[in-house]
Amino acid sequence: MPGERLERIVQLMSSGDDPALGTAGLCAVCAEVTAVTGAGIMLMDGDLPQGSVCSSDAVSTLVEDLQYTLGEGPCVDAYQLRRPVVEPDLADPAASRWMAFTPPAVAAGARAVFGFPLNLGAARLGALNLYRDQPGALTADQYADALVMASVAAEAVIGMQAHAPVGSLGAEIEAGSNFQFVVHQAAGMVSVQLGVSVTEALIRLRAHGFRHNRLVSDVATDVVDRRLRFDNGDGATVR
């Protein structure tokens, strides 16, 4: 059965007009194979999301951005726990979790969310995020398809990155992804302003975004454009 699922996925991936598929096509296939409303792929490093490889629609993009900003959600948990994380009714969960992530995700139209870790051997890359615009659990077939799709997606990401120079993104990934380069630039600036590590600076950016109900990318843009500094308390607007 896993072999049959894999064969079906590979055929679907190779049936499009572009045999190279690319990141956008990869997420579209993830959503189609698992029969959900939308899909996204987030890469992580350590405990922090690094960016979105792709997303299949606007809601998936927001779901990825929220997890990147808040550091919580199904992708984050699936990566950290190394197992699938499912929430079949985000608006009325059996147990409360993701207190910051849930309200805006539900408001955007995500009623059920599912995270599947992207692993390749011992390497942990991130997670496949699936959402549905109606509440409900995945069927056994959908769950099994998602497990296989996560494995295929991990191999696809590794393949896209295989020939890239050390320290840079593969051309396909860079062209189709949202790696929040402005956030990393802003983290470097805040690191200098506060005399802290880049990781600590990134945490400060995320905390500021959460406190002021803003996406971290918007906060970062203000820092890069020198409208916001972090060396006067939480941050001061520069006119």
Fold of 2-176: Beta-Lactamase (3.30.450)
**Cα separation, 153 vs 149, whole angstroms:** 6
- What pTM value is reported for the model? 0.76
**Cα separation, 148 vs 116, whole angstroms:** 10
For 49-69, the pLDDT digits (tens) are 667 788 889 999 899 888 888
pLDDT under 50: residue ranges of the chain: 1, 17-20, 175-176, 239
| Other CB atoms within 10 A of residue 115 CB | 29
Query: E strands along the chain, which residues?
Result: 38-45, 48-55, 85-87, 112-120, 123-132, 228-229, 236-237
Alpha-carbon distances, residue 82 vs 76, 124, 156 (angstroms): 10, 8, 19
Are the CB atoms for 129 and 74 separated by under 8 Å?
yes
DSSP class of 170: -
- Domain borders along the chain are 2-176, 181-237
Beta pairing partners, 49? 44
Q: Looking at residue 239, what is its pLDDT? A: 46
> Which residues, at least 6 apart from 208, have a Cβ–Cβ distance to it below 8 Å?
214, 219, 230, 234, 235
